[in-house]
């Protein structure tokens, strides 16, 4: 394959993965991040089998998962701590699910990109990307590439300029995210190592150990819920919702929170000409399956494989979308439907989840995305 050049727009999980995968397939790659540094946005992150496979493919697995938490189970709980259903993880023959610090993941992806020879450019904001591969930047610079990969998030103006958005839903729900120090005082020892999602009314509280020192909390609520707006939680309000977690919640008054509204995005097409979109710019989903990062990563690795197989870029992108879109959109739909649990009263939702948790359908639908794998190509070809 003659030397081909890619410009990647966005220094998040999807962009860094795409840049590294392309470079490992023989492309010259320049990645642009509009901020003055490539840094993580968020707190903790779930990496299921599909995302872990992508990390392995680009040589970032060891660095990203060093110190990660590898728990025994994911459980849904009532407001009082009663177990509604359980999914066993990380056992022999079962699904893998590691939880890690988002900044550690980004650092590992930056290191992998650097090793692969990716040129990383910060303080570089793209203002347009054309189907012929031309990219214009805010500083007036114009470049040309054989491939442009856009992974610059839900608010992508490059996507909107090309008119590719078929559906964008700004959802009623969002989450306040924060990190707290790990402690043996929060939960019984057997529970403290699990991933626990608690339900009450329209609120959820996700408890996620990330390292021996850190616990990631995501408090899901409606965007007009005053207890999660501003810089800090209304701790008393959340204690009333989840009284058995009081010792955990009382650690949060001085911790600044980050609030994000959930979004759902579907495009008419994932590419136009030589310009491809992935991650939240193309297939944003609410985080109920913990698959936003994983689907972005497998899509990025699969894109690199498709455009490195010898076809013209536009044809390769069409094939990439045809092969990858069904599985990723199925994941999106499942995650979007899971919002409906928020609208059920506890008296209905709790017994429903207890029954559904004993049926294979619920587990299969939640784990379907973990069985997705990135397409790869023979780099020696």
Give percent of the chain above pLDDT 90: 93
Q: What are 249-299's pLDDT values in tens digits?
A: 999 988 999 999 999 999 999 999 999 999 999 999 999 999 999 999 999
pLDDT at 39: 92
Cα distances (Å, whole numbers) of residue 180 to 71, 138, 227, 250? 18, 38, 18, 10
State the angle between helix axes of 313-337 and 292-307 in degrees (0 to 180), rounded to the nearest 10: 160
Lookup: tokens for 10 = 């966005």
Q: How far apart are CA 12 and CA 14, in angstroms?
A: 6
Full strand arrangement of the beta sheet holding 126-129: 126-129, 134-137, 142-144
Higher pLDDT among residues 156 and 379, named by residue: 156
Give percent of the chain above pLDDT 70: 98
- Global confidence as pTM: 0.96
pLDDT at 380: 31
pLDDT at 376: 80
Q: What are 225-238's pLDDT values in tens digits?
A: 999 988 999 999 99
Q: Does the domain at residues 5-67+102-169+264-340 carry the CATH identifier 3.50.50.60?
A: yes
Q: What are 313-342's pLDDT values in tens digits?
A: 999 999 999 999 999 999 999 999 999 999
- The DSSP H or E segment spanning 226 is none
SS3 of 126-141: the string is EEEECCCCEEEECCCC
**If you average pLDDT over residues 79-91, what whole number do you get?**
97
Q: How far apart are CA 56 and CA 112, in angstroms?
A: 11
Q: What are 152-193's pLDDT values in tens digits?
A: 999 999 999 999 999 999 999 999 999 999 999 999 999 999
C-beta of residue 293 within 8 angstroms of C-beta of residue 301? no
- Whether 379 shows a pLDDT value over 50: the answer reads no
- Whether 381 shows a pLDDT value over 70: the answer reads no
What are the residues whose beta carbons fall under 8 Å from the beta carbon of 115, sequence distance 6 or more?
A: 59
Beta bridge partners of 165: 267
pLDDT at 353: 96
Q: How far apart are CA 379 and CA 25, in angstroms?
A: 6
C-beta of residue 179 within 8 angstroms of C-beta of residue 44? yes
Judged by DSSP in three states, 68 sits in: coil
What are the residues whose beta carbons fall under 8 Å from the beta carbon of 317, sequence distance 6 or more?
A: 270, 271, 274, 276, 303, 306, 307
pLDDT at 85: 96
Cα distances (Å, whole numbers) of residue 296 to 28, 88, 179, 199, 338? 21, 24, 24, 28, 20
* Mean pLDDT value across the chain: 96
C-beta of residue 85 within 8 angstroms of C-beta of residue 356? yes
- Whether 242 shows a pLDDT value over 60: the answer reads yes
pLDDT at 377: 65
- Whether 378 shows a pLDDT value over 60: the answer reads no
pLDDT at 42: 72
**Which residue from 151, 68, 62 is spatially nearest to 108, judged by alpha carbons?**
62
Where helices occur in 38-101 by DSSP H, the ranges are: 49-57, 61-65
pLDDT at 2: 64
């Amino acid at each position: 394959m003659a030397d081909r050049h890619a410009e990647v727009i966005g220094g998040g999980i999807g962009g860094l993965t795409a840049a590294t995968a392309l470079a490992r397939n023989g492309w010259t790659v320049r990645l642009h991040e509009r901020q003055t540094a490539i840094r993580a946005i968020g707190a903790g992150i779930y990496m299921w089998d599909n995302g872990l496979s992508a990390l392995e493919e680009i040589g970032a697995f060891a660095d990203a998962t060093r110190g990660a938490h590898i728990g025994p189970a994911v459980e849904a709980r009532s407001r009082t701590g009663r177990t509604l259903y359980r999914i066993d993880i990380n056992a022999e023959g079962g699904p893998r699910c590691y939880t890690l610090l988002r900044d550690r993941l980004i650092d590992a992806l930056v290191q992998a990109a650097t090793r692969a020879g990716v040129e990383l450019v910060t303080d570089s904001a793209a203002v347009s990307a054309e189907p012929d591969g031309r990219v214009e930047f805010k500083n007036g610079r114009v470049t040309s590439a054989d491939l442009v990969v856009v992974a610059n998030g839900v608010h992508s103006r490059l996507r909107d300029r090309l008119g590719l958005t078929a559906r964008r839903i700004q959802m009623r729900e969002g989450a306040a995210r924060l990190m707290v120090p790990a402690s043996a005082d929060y939960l019984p020892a057997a529970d403290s190592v699990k991933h626990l999602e608690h339900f009450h009314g329209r609120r959820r509280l996700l408890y996620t150990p990330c390292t021996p020192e850190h616990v990631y909390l995501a408090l899901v609520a409606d965007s007009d819920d005053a207890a999660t707006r501003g810089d800090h939680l209304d701790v008393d309000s959340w204690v009333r919702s989840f009284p058995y977690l009081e010792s955990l919640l009382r650690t949060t008054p001085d911790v600044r929170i980050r609030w994000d509204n959930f979004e759902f995005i579907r495009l008419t097409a994932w590419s136009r000409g030589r310009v491809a979109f992935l991650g939240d710019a193309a297939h944003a989903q609410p985080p109920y399956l913990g698959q936003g990062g994983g689907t972005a990563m497998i899509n990025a690795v699969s894109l690199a494989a498709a455009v490195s197989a010898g076809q013209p870029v536009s044809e390769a992108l069409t094939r990439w979308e045809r092969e990858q879109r069904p599985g990723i959109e199925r994941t999106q739909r499942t995650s979007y439907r899971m919002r409906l649990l928020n609208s059920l009263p506890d008296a209905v939702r709790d017994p429903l989840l207890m029954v559904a948790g004993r049926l294979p359908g619920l587990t299969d639908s939640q784990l379907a995305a973990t069985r997705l794998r990135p397409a790869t190509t023979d780099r020696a070809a």
